[in-house]
Amino acid sequence: MNLNPMFLLKEAQRILRLTRKPKQSEYLESVRVCAIGIILIGSIGFAIFIISRVLG
C-alpha cells in the first residue's frame, strides 16, 4: 500500500476521470433499493421491539 501523497493525488484524479453522473433511471433505482433496505431493517427492528414488549 503506497501512502505517498503524490501517488494518492494521481489515483484520485484517475478515479475522478473515470466517474460520471448517473442517469436519472440509475439514480431512482439506487434510491428505491436504499428505501427498501431502510424499510426492511426498520420493520425487523420494530418487530423485535414489539415481541420484546409482549414477552417482557
Q: Which three cell numbers mark 49? A: 421491539
Q: Which three cell numbers mark 27? A: 439514480
Predicted confidence band of residue 2 (pLDDT cuts 50, 70, 90) = confident
What's the farthest any 2 CA atoms get from each other in the chain? 59
Report whether pLDDT(48) > 70.
yes
- pTM here is 0.64
Report whether pLDDT(4) > 90.
no
Q: Sign of the CA dihedral 7, 12, 17, 19? A: positive
CB 25 within 8 A of CB 32: no
